[in-house]
């Protein structure tokens, strides 16, 4: 009887590790004990969990421990990159329904963490975001990056020859990071905003600037992350310009009421630089704390020219 109870507990500990951990997320022994209690296994102390982890390691499970964070397991049949491929493929297929996607998610859920489950659950949302993007576009960009070739694109009514550096998935959208041959500045553009995309078959012989792209991605995430957000209201003075579309492209949670734009954003210099780029066409009107911080940001910029 005791052996059966012990085995049952080990299986439940293993299931908890698979569900709640991955390479980026750990779970403490205390939290494991709490989850076991929810599953009907009461009064388990930290020392018992430690012994259970040891037993699972002895039979071949790769469990990592991290001081202060707890444990994580490397046992899922799918790594995050593979799940992204599955999610991206599903989001671009027109002949698969949301019901079919949910059925597939339910079949995969027992084998992946709750964090990766969210990636698959968001597929139907990504499906709307990716509408009009073919897998061929994605493949074309990646191939051009690999071969260090120019791409020919048409976006916002303008045709350009660009140097592609990186394709990144952010908040369910694909972003292409690129530069023009005559400019050192790195730009980024949502893939679904590209109207036409073609190979040039021409080598550019430029160094690939992955580190700079990654730095821009990090800054963008810190500016527009969904964590620690503040609700900001903007007044747009030129409704006929590109600004409204640009705001919708830059933020996921934009609410527009005539000339007033409400959004939630992490307040940072990156966000202020975005607003500053609109010059006198956009004004922050709320909250007061954001206005004061923006004034401070502007004074620092002005100070450079008045020293």
Average pLDDT over residues 198-226: 75
**260-277: average pLDDT:** 85
Residue-level pLDDT at 235 = 95
Q: What is the pLDDT of residue 227?
A: 47
Residue in 204, 207, 191 with CA at minimum distance from that of residue 140: 191
Highest mean pLDDT among 196-210, 212-226, 245-259: 196-210
More confident residue, 171 or 21: 21
Predicted confidence (pLDDT) at residue 255 exceeds the cutoff of 80: yes
CB atoms within 10 A of CB 43: 8
> Is residue 236 predicted with pLDDT exceeding 90?
yes
| Predicted confidence (pLDDT) per residue in 120-155, tens digit | 665 544 555 445 455 678 888 888 998 999 999 988
> Average pLDDT of the chain?
79
Average pLDDT score over residue span 145-167 = 88
- pTM reported for the whole predicted model: 0.41
Q: What is the rounded distance in angstroms from the CA atom of residue 137 to the CA atom of residue 115?
A: 28
State which CATH number among 1.10.3720.10, 3.40.630.10, 3.40.395.10, 1.10.10.10 fits the domain covering 2-73: 1.10.10.10
Of the candidate ranges 114-123, 139-148, 157-166, the one whose mean pLDDT is the lowest: 114-123
What per-residue confidence (pLDDT) applies to 164? 92
For the cut 70, the answer to whether the pLDDT of residue 170 exceeds it is: no
Q: If you average pLDDT over each of 17-26, 65-74, 117-126, 174-183, which comes out highest?
A: 174-183
For residue 304, count other CB atoms closer than 10 A to its CB. Answer: 7
What pLDDT sits at residue 163?
92
pLDDT at 149: 92
Q: Which long-range contacts (CB under 8 A, 24 or more apart) does 1-8 make?
A: 8/41
Sheet of 149-155: strand order equals 187-190, 173-180, 158-170, 149-155, 194-203
pLDDT band at residue 7 using 50, 70 and 90 as cut-offs: confident
Distance (Å, rounded) from C-alpha 72 to C-alpha 61?
11
Inter-residue contact 112 to 147 (CB < 8 Å): no
Tell me what the mean pLDDT of segment 216-222 comes to: 64
Residue 226: predicted pLDDT: 46
What percent of the chain is modeled with pLDDT above 70?
75
| Residues ≥6 apart with Cβ < 8 Å to 245 | none
Give 37-85 pLDDT, tens digit per residue.
888 888 888 889 998 999 888 888 888 887 777 888 875 555 555 665 6
CA distance 19 to 114: 6
Decide if pLDDT at 96 tops 70: no
Write down the pLDDT at residue 264: 83
Q: Which residues pair with 255 in a beta bridge?
A: 262
pLDDT at 36 exceeding the cut of 80: yes
**Degrees to nearest 5, angle at CA 161 with 160 and 165:** 115
Q: Which two tokens stand for residue 162?
A: 């660009």
- Res 125: pLDDT: 47
pLDDT of residue 150: 93
User: Looking at 7-21, 98-112, 274-288, which range is the least confident one?
Assistant: 98-112
Query: Does residue 180 register a pLDDT over 70?
Result: yes
pLDDT of residue 223: 56
Annotated domain spans of the chain: 2-73, 80-129, 135-218, 225-306
Contact 187, 177 (CB under 8 A): yes
- Determine what percent of the chain is predicted with pLDDT higher than 90: 14
CATH number of this structure's domain 135-218: 2.30.30
């Amino acid at each position: 009887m005791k052996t059966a109870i012990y085995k049952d507990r080990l299986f439940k500990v293993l299931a908890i590790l698979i569900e709640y951990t991955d390479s980026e997320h750990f779970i403490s022994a205390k939290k494991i004990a709490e989850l076991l209690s929810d599953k009907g296994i009461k009064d388990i102390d930290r020392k018992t969990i430690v012994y259970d982890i040891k037993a699972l390691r002895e039979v071949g499970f790769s469990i990592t421990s991290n001081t202060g964070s707890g444990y994580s397991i490397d046992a899922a049949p799918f790594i995050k990159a593979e799940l992204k491929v599955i999610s991206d493929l599903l989001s671009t297929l027109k002949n698969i329904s949301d019901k079919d996607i949910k059925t597939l998610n339910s079949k995969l859920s027992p084998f992946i963490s709750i964090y990766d489950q969210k990636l698959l659950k968001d597929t139907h949302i990504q499906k709307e975001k990716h509408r009009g993007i073919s897998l061929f576009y994605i493949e074309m960009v990646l191939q051009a990056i690999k071969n260090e070739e120019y791409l020919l694109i048409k976006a916002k009514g303008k045709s350009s020859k660009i140097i592609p550096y990186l394709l990144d998935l952010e908040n369910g959208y694909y972003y292409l990071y690129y530069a023009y041959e005559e400019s050192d500045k790195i730009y980024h553009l949502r893939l679904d905003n590209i109207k036409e995309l073609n190979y040039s078959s021409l080598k550019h012989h430029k160094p690939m600037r992955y580190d700079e792209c990654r730095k821009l991605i990090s800054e963008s995430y810190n500016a527009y992350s969904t964590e620690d957000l503040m609700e900001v209201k903007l007044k747009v003075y030129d409704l006929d310009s590109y600004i409204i579309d640009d705001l919708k492209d830059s933020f996921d949670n934009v609410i527009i009421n005539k000339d007033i734009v409400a959004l939630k954003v992490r307040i940072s210099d990156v966000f202020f630089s975005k607003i500053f780029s609109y010059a006198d066409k956009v004004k922050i009107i709320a909250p007061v704390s954001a206005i004061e911080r923006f004034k401070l940001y502007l004074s620092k910029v002005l100070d450079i020219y008045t020293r």
